[in-house]
């Protein structure tokens, strides 16, 4: 992205137009490919430089106060201080600060990241178990049929890992701890990398 700067003020945002009019002069779009930065700057066109110092992962933070500034012959896009999203569930309140109830009189809940993450874990576990559910159904309906050991082992491991992950998620005391659970790091070597995350992993398939 580029901007047009006039009298040290950003006056227009430019997204590679077919042509650009500055004052009484129309410039073709080719100037963005053919001209140097200094040549563009000479007519008031500056490429936007993004400063991500304050920008944080949108899955865990709310980024606010996006702003563009021109200083030291450079246009910079930056953000204000990011705000961590809600970690734990909270009761929703109305405009007067009272508990907000739904039409049935139940408390409305503003769910936090922990609940959202645990919901995903449950969905993943359910998806892994679904293809082998028929073994369990058959085992309850057919008297002389036993569910294969590898199936029961797999299903037990899925449930155990699901519980382990939920426990890890619940143990987080702040958003950064929760975020770290999902970050893969190389626990091996550069020659033989092994990427792992702190959060437990589901078994990949039935053995």
* pLDDT tens per residue, range 163-202: 999 999 999 999 999 999 999 999 999 999 999 999 999 9
Per-residue pLDDT at 207 exceeds 70: no
Please give the pLDDT value at position 66.
92
What are the φ and ψ backbone dihedral angles of 88, each rounded to 5 degrees? -110, 160
Structure tokens at 7: 């009298």
The confidence band for 144, taking pLDDT boundaries of 50, 70 and 90, is: confident
Per-residue pLDDT at 4 exceeds 80: yes
Round to whole Å and give the CA distance between 23 and 171.
61
Neighbour count for residue 157 (Cβ, 10 Å): 15
The per-residue pLDDT for range 83-139, each reduced to its tens digit, is 999 999 999 999 999 999 999 999 999 999 999 999 999 999 999 999 999 999 999
pTM: 0.81
Structure tokens at 5: 């700067």
Structure tokens at 180: 């770290």
Structure tokens at 39: 């040549």
Selection from 78, 110, 79, 116 nearest residue 94 by Cα? 110
3-class secondary structure, 112: coil
């Amino acid at each position: 992205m580029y901007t047009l700067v006039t009298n040290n003020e950003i006056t227009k945002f430019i997204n590679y137009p077919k042509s650009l009019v500055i004052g009484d002069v129309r410039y073709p779009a080719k100037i963005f490919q053919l001209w140097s930065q200094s040549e563009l700057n000479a007519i008031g066109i500056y490429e936007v430089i993004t400063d991500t110092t304050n920008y944080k992962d949108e899955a865990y933070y709310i980024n606010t106060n996006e702003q563009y500034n021109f200083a030291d012959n450079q246009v910079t896009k930056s953000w204000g201080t990011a705000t961590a999203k809600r970690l734990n569930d909270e009761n929703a309140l109305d405009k007067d600060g009272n508990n907000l109830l739904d039409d049935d009189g139940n408390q409305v809940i503003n769910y936090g990241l922990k609940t959202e993450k645990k919901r995903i874990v449950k969905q993943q576990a359910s998806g892994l178990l679904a293809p082998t559910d028929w073994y369990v159904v058959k085992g309850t309906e057919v008297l002389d049929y036993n569910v294969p050991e590898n199936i029961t082992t797999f299903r037990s491991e899925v449930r155990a890992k699901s519980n382990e992950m939920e426990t890890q998620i619940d143990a987080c005391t702040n958003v950064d701890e929760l975020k770290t659970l999902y970050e893969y790091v190389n626990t091996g070597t550069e020659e033989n990398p092994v990427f792992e995350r702190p959060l437990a992993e589901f078994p990949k398939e039935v053995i």
